[in-house]
Amino acid sequence: METVDILITGGRVVTMDEMDTIHENGAVAIAQGNIVALGLTDELEKRFTARRTIVARNRIVMPGLINSHTHTAMTCFRGFADDMELMTWWKEYIFPAETRTVSPELAYWGTTLACAEMIRSGTTTFCDMYFFMEETAQAARQAEMRCLIGEVLLDFPSANAKSPAAGLDYTRKLIEKWSGDPLVRIAVEPHALYTCSEAVLKEARALAGRYDVPVAMHFLENRAEVIQLNEKYGKKAIHYLRDIGFLHERLILFHGVCMDDEDMQICADYGCKVVHNPESNMKLASGMAPVGKMLARGITVALGTDGCASNNNLDMFQEMDTAAKLAKVAALDPTILPAPLVVRMATHYGARALGLEQATGVLEVGKRADIILIDIRKPHLTPLYNEYSHLVYAVNGADVETVIIDGRPVMEDRRLLTIDEEEAMTRVNNIASQVRGSFT
């Protein structure tokens, strides 16, 4: 018999593979961080002995969730400026608060707290854009979370870069430093069209091309942005991006709320990816992205929470529930965004959007073992007729019991193994006192 590091047995294994395979009384074998076998428990127990066996009876075993757009350090601004229009929220509160208080310490501890929250709610991979991303990378690595992150690039001085050139150079150094890391990957991330010049966008595109890494940016988040960009360029934003050679298969567009049929078709033609953030878009009254139409055109659409300043939590189960229901009420069609598709957006499509499809997002042989176990022996999860329905409409983050990332447990029986969450909460509370003081 072959010896493996971990053998998970007796669970309902939801693989998210192309055939939507579910193994009842299923098992997963893990060796050196890889999934080496899946199937029925009886069969795998005959093939493998394990250094560690995790009995998953009354558990759903599935790929870890992928939060494809967030700003982790903004846990420090959770609840700071609620119930405001996007530009008022950003220009009059968030941006001034960031200018006065964002620091390497805020980036590190805000990200550490976010990693604790994400692991506790079943997220194993996240995509981040913010300041001082070296500290974010260090925090994520300490937490042993998988991530794609990038320093926000702006046309004007930021908390961490005195010029666009300095921001680009900082990004280059990040790419080179973290190249080959098993968990941390770097993207080039200009903030948005309304904050970045053509020169910055072209240099960002060239840098990403030189190192073959993704590019990510906010795009058409609300109607006011559409009007502003039309006036700025004298053409549609998507035409502008096409004309400067910015559209390509490694481009990730966050939000896309106001994309019309032509925008979507052009994105599909170029292979661009989109990340849907329904709760943030609802809270800022930005609108509802046409997700059903995007998917129908073959666009890869992933899910993200956005940051805690515009959503207030990082629970991807809650995001799935909102995404499904919001799409139905917007279209007046209960069949749009069915539960299996929404789970795929939070797993397989997230990995595809972030360029991590070879590593994660699906439970299959050869993938890295990013796996979560959900305890379904609970009143609100009884009875169970359909696993996908439960995952979207009934499960919440607190039902996640065990989290494995890259083959290593990072949470067991709700106990975090890689993060001192008490220290993280204390540190962030101290930072919040500084934020409050900066506005008095």
Q: Residue 114: its pLDDT value, please? A: 98
Q: Is the dihedral of CA 392, 393, 398, 402 positive or negative?
A: negative
The structure tokens 């789970």 sit at 343
Distances 422 to 113, 418, 429 between C-alpha atoms, Å: 9, 12, 11
Pairing of strands 2-14, 22-31: antiparallel
Calculate mean pLDDT across residues 209-238: 97
- Summarised one tens digit per residue, pLDDT across range 256-282 is 999 999 999 999 999 999 999 999 999
- If we measure between CA atoms, which residue out of 264, 270, 375, 369 comes closest to residue 7? 369
Report the DSSP pairing between strands 48-55 and 184-186: unpaired
Q: What is the pLDDT of residue 93?
A: 83
DSSP, res 188: B
Residue 440 confidence (pLDDT): 65
Collapsed DSSP state (helix, strand, coil) of residue 284: coil
Q: Are 139 and 420 in contact (CB under 8 A)?
A: no
CATH of 2-63+370-416, one of 3.30.380.10, 2.40.37.10, 2.30.40.10, 3.40.50.720: 2.30.40.10
CATH code matching the domain that covers 65-353, chosen among 3.30.420.40, 3.40.47.10, 3.20.20.140, 3.40.50.300 = 3.20.20.140
Average pLDDT score over residue span 140-160: 97
For residue 18, the tally of other CB atoms under 10 A from its CB is 9
Q: How many CB atoms lie within 10 A of CB 229?
A: 21
Which has the higher per-residue pLDDT, 162 or 97?
162
Distance between start and end Cα atoms, the chain = 67
| Distant-in-sequence, close-in-space partners of 416: CB < 8 Å, separation ≥ 6 | 116, 119, 120, 410
Whether 421 and 116 have beta carbons less than 8 Å apart is answered as yes
User: Start-end ranges of CATH 3.20.20.140 in the chain?
Assistant: 65-353
**What mean pLDDT comes out for the span 416-437?**
95
pLDDT digits (tens, 9 = 90+) for 95-122: 788 888 999 999 999 999 999 999 999 9
Structure tokens at 178: 């973290």
Spatial CA neighbour of 190 closest among 267, 123, 251:
251
CATH 2.30.40.10 intervals, the chain: 2-63+370-416
Summarize the confidence of residues 305-323 as an average pLDDT.
96
To the question of pTM greater than 0.85 for the whole model, the response is yes
Residue 28: predicted pLDDT: 98
Locate the DSSP E strands across 93-239: 123-130, 146-153, 184-186, 189-190, 215-219
Distance CA(264)–CA(332), nearest Å, equals: 21
Strand 301-303 to 146-153 pairing: unpaired
Q: What is the pLDDT of residue 421?
A: 97
